[in-house]
Structure 1
Amino acid sequence: MYSKVDVLRDKLKAFFIHFAFSIVLVLAAYLLVQLLWYPAPLFKATDASKLFVMILVVDLVLGPILTFVIYKKNKKTLRTDLVVIILVQLSALCYGLYSMYEARPVWIAYVADRFELVRVNDIIEEDKQKHNWPRFGPEYIYVDLSQLNESEQLDSILKETQYNISPAQRPKFYNDFDLAKPLIIKNSQDVALLNNYNDSIEVTRILKRYPLANSFIPLKAKAVDMTVLIDIENQGRIIKIVDLRPW
């Protein structure tokens, strides 16, 4: 006789099988996001965790729970029901990943005396079709304001002061990153200053991993500002973006 205990046992078995499948999916999605679109520590800098948590809830919780609810051994429509649940789950995952892809950081733009992290959805609409941006991880670029004429400079200042649109959000101002190296060397700060804004033990630990880092430039980001370590003795070479506050 097929008792209620047997029904519950089968439901729990189906739940945990689906849960294990969901864990594999979520881990694969996390690796994709971290390795290709949000390399550390940019995941934290952009606060992408909020969107990823939504993906986590839908795929890790909702799918297995629906399986638990509908599962009944020998049910005629069981296979169809499970296929529908899996398709819905995969669709939700794909939509979530697409949303993260569309919000990914694409440029680390040097502007005046700092870097700014630019995401796809930061770029203003009128400039979006005028520049190709990286698909897998951000690249360094120089926001060259010296090329602007007087009218363009006034327009840039107006957009920044009235509409909070940074020049870094305007690909029309972009230029080859190597042209920024003299400014980076000139404006970089000694790494010792990082102790003023961070725990000194953490600063020491990170700098030991990058012994060639002797200077830094702040990186302004959406959620948490980061630090770009520089080797000014090697033509301003970028060493690493690290999870330290620059101010």
Structure 2
Amino acid sequence: MISKYKFSLLHLAVSVCIAFLSAYIVFVIWYPSPLAQAIGVTKLFTLLLIIDMILGPLLGLIIYKEGKKTLKFDLTVIILVQILAYSYGMYSVAQGRPLWVVYSQYHFDVVQHKQLDEKDLEKADQAYQQRSWFGPKIVALKGEEQYQKNSFAYQRRGWTSYPSNYTELTSTQSRLSQYAFDLKYLNQSNESERVAKILSQYIQADAWLPLKAPIQDMVVLVNKKKGEVIKVVDLKPLR
């Protein structure tokens, strides 16, 4: 059997590799910046990393005693608990991942995996029935005449939680053009230098709309002439 410190280093190395891979999946694929901040997944993922990178290897180091009869059993239990805790944490993160960024009229909404019901997905067009594992997609709501305004479920969960209401963003270009705000209004809720720095990276943007999110509302930069989303950015919408 390998020595105590070699085992601990190996255990830590594997945990670190898993942590980096998980961070890439979460913050690059599932919650592309700045949606992780808007939804508030960072704290949950940090707790996950503490369990995976610190507590697991530390417990292994503490209980590792060469010659101990129950050593293999004890290490197996620690690793299994670590795997179970990690799996549950990643499952929770996956349940909250954003599937859609939905344009309604005056703003965009973030729609998470946990908000959708399988029965509602079956009623949607084929293009909107899949729960993506590769980041959120941009869509829009159909015209208001499509909504079931008197439905209690619609009032409780919101129209954007029903994929049967979705359509392509390009089909709502005139609506987006009508309600999008001029870029100059971003200076009312943000430092002008910060606004200028961000806008310099997205010169195609000619307007913006608010993004409603669970933890922090943000801004969606758009090109209203083309009816396109340019980027979700970490700026405050109008107060």
Q: TM-score, normalised by structure 1?
A: 0.84
Q: State how far apart, in whole Å, the 1-side matches of 2:76 and 2:197 are.
A: 50
Q: Secondary structure at the match of 1:240?
A: strand
Give 1 or 2: higher helix fraction: 1
- Kindly report the root-mean-square deviation, in angstroms, between the aligned alpha carbons of the 2 structures: 2.2
Deviations 1:164-189 (CA, angstroms, capped at 9, x unpaired): x2111122222232212221111111
Letter in 2 for 1:101: A
The residue that corresponds to 1:174 in the other structure is 166
The residue that corresponds to 2:140 in the other structure is 142
Q: State how far apart, in whole Å, the 2-side matches of 1:223 and 1:28 are.
A: 25
The residue that corresponds to 2:222 in the other structure is 230
The residue that corresponds to 1:5 in the other structure is none
TM-aligned CA deviation for residue 124 of structure 1: 5.2
The partner residue of 2:203 within 199, 211, 223 is 211
Letter in 1 for 2:162: R
- 2:170 and 2:227 in contact (8 A); partners too: no
- 2:169 and 2:228 in contact (8 A); partners too: no
The residue that corresponds to 1:132 in the other structure is 130
- 1:11 and 1:69 in contact (8 A); partners too: no
TM-aligned CA deviation for residue 15 of structure 1: 4.2
- 2:34 and 2:232 in contact (8 A); partners too: yes
Residue 244, structure 1, aligned to residue 235, structure 2: yes
TM-aligned CA deviation for residue 200 of structure 1: 1.3
The partner residue of 1:120 within 113, 122, 134 is 113
User: Structure 1 123/236 Cα, relative in aligned 2: closer, same or farther at 3 Å?
Assistant: same
The gaps in structure 1 that reach 5 residues or longer are 1-9
The residue that corresponds to 2:70 in the other structure is 77
- 1:110 and 1:142 in contact (8 A); partners too: yes
- 1:113 and 1:183 in contact (8 A); partners too: no
Q: Radius of gyration: which is bigger?
A: 1
User: Structure 1 133/147 Cα, relative in aligned 2: closer, same or farther at 3 Å?
Assistant: farther
- 1:143 and 1:168 in contact (8 A); partners too: yes
The gaps in structure 2 that reach 5 residues or longer are 124-128
Q: State how far apart, in whole Å, the 2-side matches of 1:97 and 1:245 are.
A: 29
Number of aligned residues: 231
- 2:98 and 2:113 in contact (8 A); partners too: yes
Q: State how far apart, in whole Å, the 2-side matches of 1:71 and 1:167 are.
A: 55
- 2:98 and 2:136 in contact (8 A); partners too: yes
Q: TM-score, normalised by structure 2?
A: 0.86
